[in-house]
Amino acid sequence: MENRKRDKNQNNIMNVELKGNTICLYNLNHPACVSNFIRCIRICIKRSITKVVVIVKCSTVFPNACLPIAGLIQYYKDKHGIDFRFDIPFHHYLSSCGFEKPFYLSVDEIKADKHPFDKIICYDKSEQVAELTQSYINAISHSSECASGVINSLIWCLNEVMDNVLLHSESDCGYILVQYHPQQKHIAICVFDYGIGIYQTLKGTSHNPKTPLDALSLSLQEGVGDGKGQGNGLFGLYGIIENNKGRLTITSGNASIFYRSNKELIKFDELPIIDKSHYGTIVDFQMDLSNDVDITKVFKSIGGFDGFDIRLDRMLNDNDLHQYDVYANCSGTATREAGKASYNDVLNIITRTNAPIILDFSNVKNVSSSFIDEFIAKLVVRTGFYKFNQMFRLIGMNATVEHLCNRAVAMRIFDEWENIDVNGAIDETP
């Protein structure tokens, strides 16, 4: 059994440890990992160590530790000349997510990327922020059926938090990592920058916080900013997370605020800083995709939010109805997984628009039985014939696709009836 030291500040087994010029990552599942990494690097700088080996020995990786450390590695490499070498097991999460070298994608590359999760992405332009937000929203819509208000709330959160970096941090760039956890139906998002920090941003304003912790507390209040925006970004984020019963952690400089679903704010103010000129900021939040968000309530005091989505806007036809091009919006029509993704996406659009939708199969030449079963047959069973005819209109099916669709619906309905016992209850025995 490995004998590891305990971190005096966290009262738990050390998750990041320095041995000579080697930093061992035992865990990457908590914000404390970032603090310990900074401590290790500052010791290396003090000892004039310029070559650092990073050994990965962790199994669980969360954005709130992985992303900031990846960004810090780039900072200390570029600004302090530290040469990092990595020992990462083959097929480990960190070997493919961009931990050693974050992805920098052009706007066109972001548009083409249908799988943006689990990638550490560096951005420095507002156009990238817009496309990244759209990319994440598209992926979320296909991955899980979301409760009312969730997707529009995520549009706000992603735009505001990423844009804050460009507006206020005075950093070269920002970093983002998004994870989707299907079993919990949670989305975990972390945004990091190594800029001047929230305290330095607000220090010269009328708010004049006395400490970094004061600055964090102020930043969660309505209308607090440095004058470059409305000052409602973190206020709106906090309101959304609270309404969703999610989680939020904001760390900047030596201070950190944790919000959990029990409405308790936990505060720390003795954390290590990157250096005297760079306090940095980490915004980490998690949302439950199955919990509604009352956007009207959240934004009552600061005005509405329309959750503009360019993809949905482009679906509007001449009659102001959403016309969903099945081929353009799916990842193929041959697998059950692709059918499930289309099923989720269409249900999410219905939830967001509260209006009927046209499902256009004109560009679909063929489908598998499993795809059409997972997509259309399950929609019919989910809504029932009457509501299905009110909510959906199918157009453009060729004879083959129409035959497979009719067959899939008939078989799905038969299977559902077979699973109903004499008392009318669903028999869920496998």
What pLDDT does residue 10 have?
43
20 falls within a domain: yes
Q: Are residues 277 and 342 in the same domain?
A: no
Which helix (H) or strand (E) element contains residue 185? none
Q: Are residues 227 and 272 in the same domain?
A: yes
Beta-carbon neighbour count of residue 33 at 10 Å? 26
Q: Are residues 280 and 360 in the same domain?
A: no
- Across 93-246, the runs of DSSP E, i.e. the strands, are 103-104, 121-123, 174-181, 186-193
Q: Does residue 209 surpass a pLDDT of 70?
A: yes
Q: Are residues 135 and 92 in the same domain?
A: no
- Residue of higher predicted confidence among 223 and 238: 238
- Cα–Cα distance for residue pair 342/354, rounded to 1 Å: 18
Q: Are residues 283 and 374 in the same domain?
A: no
Q: Are residues 148 and 263 in the same domain?
A: yes
- Decide if 373 contacts 408 (C-beta within 8 A): yes
428 falls within a domain: no
- Cα–Cα distance for residue pair 287/297, rounded to 1 Å: 17
Q: Does residue 421 surpass a pLDDT of 80?
A: no
Confidence of residue 12 (pLDDT cuts 50, 70, 90): very low
Q: Are residues 407 and 371 in the same domain?
A: yes
Confidence of residue 226 (pLDDT cuts 50, 70, 90): low
Segments forming the whole domain that contains residue 401 = 310-418
66 falls within a domain: yes
Q: Are residues 407 and 267 in the same domain?
A: no
What pLDDT does residue 231 have?
60
Given 49, 79, 99, the domain boundary residue is 99
Q: Are residues 87 and 176 in the same domain?
A: no
Total domain count for the chain? 3
427 falls within a domain: no
Q: Are residues 239 and 358 in the same domain?
A: no
- Cα–Cα distance for residue pair 275/42, rounded to 1 Å: 9
- Decide if 139 contacts 117 (C-beta within 8 A): yes
Given 274, 307, 340, the domain boundary residue is 307
Confidence of residue 300 (pLDDT cuts 50, 70, 90): confident
430 falls within a domain: no
Mean of pLDDT values over 372-379: 97
- Decide if 119 contacts 105 (C-beta within 8 A): no
Q: Are residues 214 and 278 in the same domain?
A: yes
44 falls within a domain: yes
CATH number for the domain spanning 198: value is: 3.30.565.10
Q: Are residues 302 and 359 in the same domain?
A: no
Task: Quickly tell me which residue has 């296909």 as its tokens.
Answer: 142
CATH number for the domain spanning 12: value is: 3.30.750
Number of DSSP helices (H) and strands (E) in the chain, helices first: 15, 17
Kindly report the pTM of this predicted structure: 0.91
Residues with Cβ within 8 Å of 382's Cβ and at least 6 positions away in sequence, in order, are 347
Say what percent of the chain tops pLDDT 90. Answer: 79
84 falls within a domain: yes
pLDDT digits (tens, 9 = 90+) for 276-285: 899 999 999 9
Q: What is the DSSP string of 227-274?
A: SSS-S-HHHHHHHHHHHHT-EEEEEETTEEEEE-TTS-EEEE--PPPS
202 falls within a domain: yes
DSSP type of residue 297: H
Residue 195's nearest CA partner among 77, 97, 282 is 282
Q: Does residue 405 surpass a pLDDT of 90?
A: yes
Confidence of residue 71 (pLDDT cuts 50, 70, 90): very high
Q: What is the mean pLDDT of the chain?
A: 91
Sign of the Cα pseudo-torsion (201, 203, 207, 209, in order)? positive
Given 99, 126, 155, the domain boundary residue is 99
- Decide if 190 contacts 177 (C-beta within 8 A): yes
The crossing angle, in degrees rounded to 10, of helices 150-168 and 336-353 is 80
